Structure 1
Amino acid sequence: MARLHMVLLALLPIVLILTVLSEVESAAVKDGKEKVSERKGSSKKVFVPASDASNFFKHRSRRSPKLYAEYLAEHKLQLAASERRREYYEEQSNEYENHLEENRNEQYERNRENTEQWREYHYDGLYPQYPHHRPYG
């Protein structure tokens, strides 16, 4: 029961604030005393008929030629896109080549170490490592 009283006491100030604020008008809101004709005139400046709105972005028909500026703009966009694409693929190929080179170097080093260990293990010091290095005698 005490919890219910606590919740109601917490909600009471919120209800009072909302009721007071609903009666107060903001300073930015107009009081509605302007003429109706002025409202309709301003709305005509903002809103256009549906037929004009649907054709707003269609400045030219499909078969009419493009303007030279449109061709230039499209060409610049295509050049920029192809340049970005070329740089991306070049960077990817460089990274791949570096990766391959590192792998080859690591593999060569491991192979050389294994060979060196094998030679050290099998060489007893009594004769040269390779038969073609033996002196003739």
Structure 2
Amino acid sequence: MAGTHTVLLTLLPTVLILIVLAGVESAAVKDGKDSEAKAGASKQVFMPASDASNFFKRRGRRSPGTYEEYYAEQRLKMAANERRREHLEEQHDEHENYLEEERDGETDLPV
């Protein structure tokens, strides 16, 4: 009994939404009555080719980089990775030396 109530409660909003949407007319297709509004809208959306070219020139992120730029970025990443590896290796060596000194200090104590 509780299962049917749950199913009905979940289906009720779905049915109501479908009824409301069936009565709504689609706004995707225009009748062409507002030709003046249409011309104004196209002026807002489109721009001259020179302005569009300048827009993309200013935005270097949108255009793919050259091979040289890509290669330079990869070299920088590799150098950073090398520095990071050397730093971690140095930290590891320092830790090993510390542990070795601790072990030596424990063995030197009289029992």
Length-normalised TM-score, structure 1: 0.43
Task: Give the Cα separation in 1 of the matches to 2:84 and 2:98.
Answer: 21
Counterpart selection for 1:102 from 81, 98, 102:
98
- Residue 14 of structure 1 deviates from its aligned partner by 3.2
- Residue 98 of structure 1 deviates from its aligned partner by 0.9
- State the one-letter code of the partner of 1:25: L
Shift in CA distance, 75/15, structure 1 to aligned 2, threshold 3 Å: closer
Shift in CA distance, 32/73, structure 1 to aligned 2, threshold 3 Å: closer
Counterpart selection for 1:77 from 66, 73, 77:
73
For residue 101 of structure 1, give the secondary structure of its aligned residue in structure 2.
helix
Counterpart selection for 2:15 from 14, 19, 25:
19
Q: What do you get for the CA RMSD once the two structures are aligned?
A: 2.9
Q: Would you identify which runs of 4 or more consecutive aligned residues in structure 1 move more than 6 Å? A: none
| Structure 1 unaligned blocks of 5 or more | 36-68, 119-137
Shift in CA distance, 112/76, structure 1 to aligned 2, threshold 3 Å: same
- Residue 90 of structure 1 deviates from its aligned partner by 0.9
Length-normalised TM-score, structure 2: 0.50
Report % sequence identity. 11
Counting helix residues as a fraction of each chain, which structure ranks higher? 2
Please name the residue that 1:34 is paired with.
30
| Structure 2 unaligned blocks of 5 or more | 32-64
- Residue 32 of structure 1 deviates from its aligned partner by 5.1
Count the aligned residue pairs.
Answer: 76
